[in-house]
Amino acid sequence: MSVKELFDLSGRTALVTGGSRGLGLAMAGALGEMGAKVIITARKVAELDEALGSLRSRGVEAVRVVGDLSRPEDVKALADAALEAAGAPIDILVNNAGATWGAPAEEHPLESWEKVIDLNLTGTFLLTQQIGLRSMIPRRYGRIVNIASVAGLKGSQHLKAIAYHTSKGGLVNFTRALAAEWGRHGITVNAICPGFIPSKMTHGLLDKIAPLVVASTPLRQLGEARDLEGLVVLLSGAAARHITGQAIAVDGGASVA
């Protein structure tokens, strides 16, 4: 197999949650550019339709499924719809959908804690379980990429979001535990841990602390959505056949400084 073939995703089908904008849309586009058929999911129809148009304008074969992963009772229906839209088993699952809530730990509302945990952890677990059972385990093949965060690797004095930190830390160990369990089925499970990347979720905070973030980052820059594109392609294809259980920081070195 040539090096180019190691990264070729032709004939593969990828499901990207939270794929209507930001990091999710960027990664969906990257997978599609490398030949995968892409299914994007999110809650908002208008954003999904706009994203679908953008992907198709780039020559990506893409479809969309509306669904809310924060509602455990809806996850099976979402998986049903995604598999129907795919018209084939799902080879690649990118668990990108997520939420955050900013508040000091001593003031953090319970309902906001539950909202973050329900989507970032429980929804991810339930959808992964469905796709694993129905597409990956029977075929003894799969690539699962969980989008965690450097917030799951360490604490922060500036980002007061205890539920978000907890959920992303849980997602990192979910990645390790699942990789250990499902490796025997030919399934790899890895996590990408982005640092601060401008997005709808981070916009308000970065308006306040961007200079501090840049100053404390060895590469002296903020990340961009495109910084995840090559890595998600790597982890989704043949090139990563012997990589599993890893949490890879994409943060300009901030987590090791």
Does the annotation mark 141 as catalytic? no
Q: One of 19, 75, 164, 166 is an active-site residue; which one?
A: 164
Element (H, E) at 51: helix 45-57
In terms of Cα–Cα distance, which of 197, 155, 189, 191 is closest to 171?
191
Quick one: how far is CA 6 from the chain centroid? 21
DSSP assignment of 92-139: EEEE-------B-GGG--HHHHHHHHIIIIIIHHHHHHHHIIIIITTT
Residues in Cβ contact with 2 at an 8 Å cutoff, skipping those fewer than 6 apart: none
Element (DSSP H or E) covering residue 42: strand 37-42
> Active-site residue numbers?
164
